[in-house]
Chains A and B, each alone.
Chain A
Amino acid sequence: EILLTQSPGTLSLSPGERATLTCRASQRVPSVYLAWYQRKPGQAPRLLMFGVSRRATGIPDRFSGSGSGTDFTLTISRLEPEDFAVYYCQQYGNSPYTFGQGTKLEIK
């Protein structure tokens, strides 16, 4: 089972700032099967990025993803008020699919 560790656990930033979230895997993630999801209270998780760096439908270009092997990054270039949420990475290359524990992005 591939374990995913996200850091930091909580990130406090202001609107307009740049956010960098990281996800480290316990072993190499097969190919590019790494996704990021956003979750807001009371809402369904939303797919943001897949294949490491591909934006899902309707996701603004201030979101970007990078990385390979065991280290991955989600970057939000200029935070908007609606971006404050919890973010999860997921590997879907190997069963069992696994998620990171999440990074809470909060308003400073």
Chain B
Amino acid sequence: QITLKESGPTLVKPTQTLTLTCTFSGFSFSTNGMGVNWIRQPPGKALEWLAVMYWDGNKDYSPSLQSRVSITKDTSKNQVVLTMTNVDTVDTATYFCGRQSFGDRSPFDYWGQGILVTVSS
């Protein structure tokens, strides 16, 4: 059974750094083609793709957030970590992780339930 689960703080203050972890099971990140993405959805707004980490260490970022986000992986722990610096109230959103299984041109076939992160002083 393939599962992904997001974890991290649910409340952060403006200007702080947000660190979210996606812990997955049921597949190996060493398998060719695997990718784990981060996506967010502000309340009442659309889904927004943030970043992806691939099995081979390649990564990609949304141009609009590239200066503030970084993505890393720990294959031994089955985790992918998203770090976002200097958060603001506009970063309040539900953050999801989603899997790709056939490289950079494949859909997100499994998603986590999401974690609601509120940015507020």
Chain A residues engaging chain B, CB cutoff 8 angstroms:
1, 30-31, 33, 35, 37, 42-47, 50, 56, 88, 90, 92-93, 95-102
- Separation in Å of the A61 CB from the closest CB of chain B? 19
Main SS at interface, chain A: loop
From residue 90 to 121 of chain B, which have CB atoms closer than 8 A to chain A?
96, 98, 100, 104-114
> B48 within 8 Å of A by Cβ?
yes
Give chain B residues whose Cβ lies under 8 Å from the Cβ of A1: 63
Interface residues in B, total, Cβ within 8 A: 25
B115 to chain A minimum Cβ distance, whole angstroms, is 11
Secondary structure dominating the interface of B = loop
B residues contacting A by CB (< 8 A) are 37, 39, 45-49, 60, 62-64, 96, 98, 100, 104-114
A102 and B46 within 8 A (CB): yes
Residues A100 and B63 in contact, CB atoms below 8 Å apart? no
Once the chains are docked, how many angstroms separate the CA of A100 from the CA of B46? 7
Complex Cα–Cα for A78 and B30 (A): 41
What are the residues of chain A within 8 A of B63 when measuring CB–CB? 1, 96
Pairs A-B, 3 closest by C-beta atoms? A99-B47, A50-B107, A44-B111
A95 to B37, CA, bound (A): 12
Please name the residue on chain A nearest to B6 by beta carbon. A44
The answer to whether B47 touches A88, judged by C-beta atoms less than 8 angstroms apart, is yes
Chain B residues within an 8 Å CB radius of A90: 47, 107-108
Q: How far apart are the CA atoms of A56 and B112 in the complex, in Å?
A: 17
A92 touches B47 (CB 8 A): no
Interface centre among B100, B105, B106 (most CB of A within 10 A): B105
